[in-house]
């Protein structure tokens, strides 16, 4: 049986089993009713909650009849029946979209992005890549101003970031660091204050052999934290950075050494900004020594 598809990424759209797409759902309020129900597909939503989202503290005097008229309109647009067995079913005190008949893209994302017990790293990466392919635009793009929609976008952004982090970690375990780089970059784009995401990016870049880019990522992390919070990266992030510096210089080619010099000098310059008296820390002295050795090699 072909299910009704509700798309919440981008313009809210209903894809009917016959292949036709419905974007005109009868106006702003009926569309919002569908969106609220779709966000909780399979879970009944009370009339009180719908009224609160639609009108806040100022519902119309006839809000119950108005809400019921919106449900009737949606059912006509979706080509479904009324009652408790409907894909858009009536419950004791509200309504529910029945997942036996209706599929919602953000719900599918969540099912794919949440790894099942015992899933292998390869399976986690594959499921996350499939989940990400569903995210073709912003969640609830049809609702740029509704507070409840903004809240849902914030929640989803966090879910998306954590899914990407899990996939990046799994990709490293599965010896696919290039996928780890892609996933970690997506996570950083969601929240550039997440050190976990930056650490995964640094580790993934280093695993691909791009040590200069890994060092640059550390520099970007440090600048982000200093500019936004006035704090240095955590001990775990600094440890990754020091491990990169401690790697055997002989592993670097002359061309990569020159690039590392540029990156390391940028790191040194950034570090010195925090030390007007040029009283370098142990880490910064290591950075200076490393740069000097690489300059000699180049």
CA of 64: how far to CAs of 54, 70, 152, 197, 229, in Å? 12, 10, 25, 46, 48
Residues carrying CATH 1.10.10.10, the chain:
4-104
* Cα separation, 295 vs 34, whole angstroms: 63
Residue with tokens 């073709």: 136
Answer yes or no: is pLDDT of 148 > 90: yes
187-196 confidence digits (pLDDT tens) = 999 999 999 9
Q: What is the pTM of this model?
A: 0.84
114-208: CATH topology: 1.25.40
* Cα separation, 265 vs 267, whole angstroms: 5
With a CB cutoff of 8 Å and minimum separation 6, the contacts of 231 are 225
pLDDT value at residue 245: 85
Band the pLDDT of 248: cuts 50, 70, 90: very low
Calculate mean pLDDT across residues 116-120: 88
Band the pLDDT of 117: cuts 50, 70, 90: confident
Residues carrying CATH 1.25.40, the chain:
114-208
Q: Any idea what DSSP says for residue 298?
A: -
* Cα separation, 202 vs 221, whole angstroms: 10
46-83 confidence digits (pLDDT tens) = 999 999 999 999 999 999 999 999 999 999 999 999 99
Tokens representing 165 are: 């982090």
Dihedral, CA atoms, 23, 132, 130, 172, nearest 10 degrees? 180
4-104: CATH topology: Arc Repressor Mutant, subunit A (1.10.10)
Is residue 95 helix, strand or coil? strand
Q: Any idea what DSSP says for residue 58?
A: -
pLDDT value at residue 246: 83
């Amino acid at each position: 049986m072909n299910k009704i598809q509700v798309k919440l990424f981008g313009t809210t759209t209903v894809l009917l089993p016959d292949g036709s797409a419905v974007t005109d759902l009868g106006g702003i309020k009926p569309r919002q009713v569908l969106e609220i129900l779709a966000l909780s597909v399979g879970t009944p939503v009370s009339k009180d909650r719908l009224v609160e989202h639609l009108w806040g503290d100022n519902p119309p005097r006839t809000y119950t009849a108005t809400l019921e008229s919106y449900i009737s309109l949606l059912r006509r647009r979706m080509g479904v029946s009324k009652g408790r067995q409907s894909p858009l079913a009536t419950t004791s005190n509200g309504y529910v979209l029945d997942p036996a008949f209706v599929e919602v893209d953000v719900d599918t994302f969540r099912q794919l992005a949440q790894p099942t017990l015992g899933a292998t790293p390869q399976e986690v990466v594959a499921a996350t890549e499939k989940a990400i392919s569903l995210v073709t635009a912003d969640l609830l793009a049809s609702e740029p101003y509704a507070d409840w929609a903004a809240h849902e976008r914030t929640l989803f952004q966090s879910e998306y970031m954590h899914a990407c982090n899990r996939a990046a970690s799994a990709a490293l375990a599965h010896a696919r660091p290039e996928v780890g780089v892609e996933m970690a970059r997506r996570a950083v784009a969601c929240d550039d204050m997440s050190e976990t995401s930056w650490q995964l990016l640094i580790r993934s870049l280093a695993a691909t052999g791009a040590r200069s880019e890994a060092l640059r990522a550390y520099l970007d992390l440090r600048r982000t934290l200093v500019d936004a919070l006035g704090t240095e990266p955590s001990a775990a992030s600094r440890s990754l950075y020091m491990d990169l510096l401690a790697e055997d210089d002989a592993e670097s080619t002359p061309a990569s050494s020159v690039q590392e010099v540029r990156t390391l000098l940028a790191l040194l310059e950034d570090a010195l900004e925090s030390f007007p008296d040029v009283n370098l820390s142990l880490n910064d002295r290591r950075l200076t020594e490393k740069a000097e050795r690489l300059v000699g090699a180049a």
